[in-house]
Amino acid sequence: MSIDLRDIELLVAAVDCRSITEGAQAVGLSLSAASSRITALEKKHGVSLLQRLRSGVVPTEAGEVVLIQSRRLLEQADLLTSAFQQHQKTHIKLVSNTSAVDSLTEFLAATLNKYPELNVDLEEGSSSEVARRVREGTADLGVVSVLESRTGLEAHLLWEDPLMIVSTSAKTSVEALKGPMIGLSAGIPLQTYIDAHLERDGITPNYRVRLPTLSAVYAVASAGAGSAILPLGTTRRLGVRTKNVLPIEEPWAQRDAWMLVKEGRTLADVEKSFIDALLSFRDEES
């Protein structure tokens, strides 16, 4: 037999208040509706639950047993409701391309303390994958550096983030690309993007080492082991000297970071707060 939680709430409230009238008021029911519910509950299960005495309403022997389980059931229902609300209100699934992850890490470090209720699951993917996941609804928000299509998406410009060459010795980008290079590990979306465009330009880089993070790539390149291609935002975050940063004139290196939201999607309050904070961070950094 199914159990109506409203009946259970009424039963517990009536016993706690020692009055069906006051119990009905506690759960927002009229006295007639409350009396009908309790009578129907007792009839449905074939057991008397309450005694109406001059001193008030008290549970029968069977009612005492049912009351213990009823309180447990309501506690579990509260916990379940809290779990749903907690997840809905505080968790954001954010997907970003490699380049933007680096800038977003700095943003999150500055933002999470301001929003103690906020929890972010940050995942990395190529710009095309990020856009696809936002369109499909498997990600709440996305950040990309290459916006191939706005179809089904709302796009907000965040910041300019072109790719730059970092070198301690080369004087031009052409010279840097002909010499030894330091790159990201094969398969990382940003490195795949860079290699594909260098190949189209007829350039086969000589990678001395491939490393898993942009910070690690810079650490090795800054020691003079080779040149590296890094996003502008990364060079700023790491404090790379201006004299060691060379522009890449090719169109594929001229990129902007965009925040993506599924078109027409109703945003939760925590998502609105996150977007506002990210746009404020953009304005402060510009």
Residue 271 CB: number of other CB atoms within 10 A?
A: 19
Question: Per the structure block, which two tokens stand in for 274?
Answer: 């996150």
Determine the Cα–Cα distance for residues 110 and 3; give it in Å rounded to an integer: 48
Q: If you average pLDDT over every residue of the chain, what do you get?
A: 89
The CA-based dihedral angle spanning residues 188, 109, 103, 89, taken in that order and rounded to the nearest 10 degrees: 80
Instruction: State the DSSP string of 92-144.
Output: EEEEE-HHHHHHHHHHHHHHTTT-TT-EEEEEE--HHHHHHHHHHTSSSEEEE
CA-to-CA dists, residue 229 to 166, 197, 225, angstroms: 6, 12, 13
Q: What percent of the chain has pLDDT over 70?
A: 96
- The residue-averaged pLDDT of 154-182 equals 93
Residue 184 CB: number of other CB atoms within 10 A?
A: 24
Instruction: Identify the CA nearest to 133 among candidates 146, 152, 119.
Output: 152
- The residue-averaged pLDDT of 6-22 equals 92
- pLDDT at residue 285 greater than cutoff 80: no
pLDDT in tens, 112-127: 877 777 889 999 888 9
| Identity of the amino acid at 268 | A
- The residue-averaged pLDDT of 40-46 equals 91
Q: Are 20 and 57 in contact (CB under 8 A)?
A: yes
pLDDT the model gives residue 269: 78
pLDDT the model gives residue 80: 81
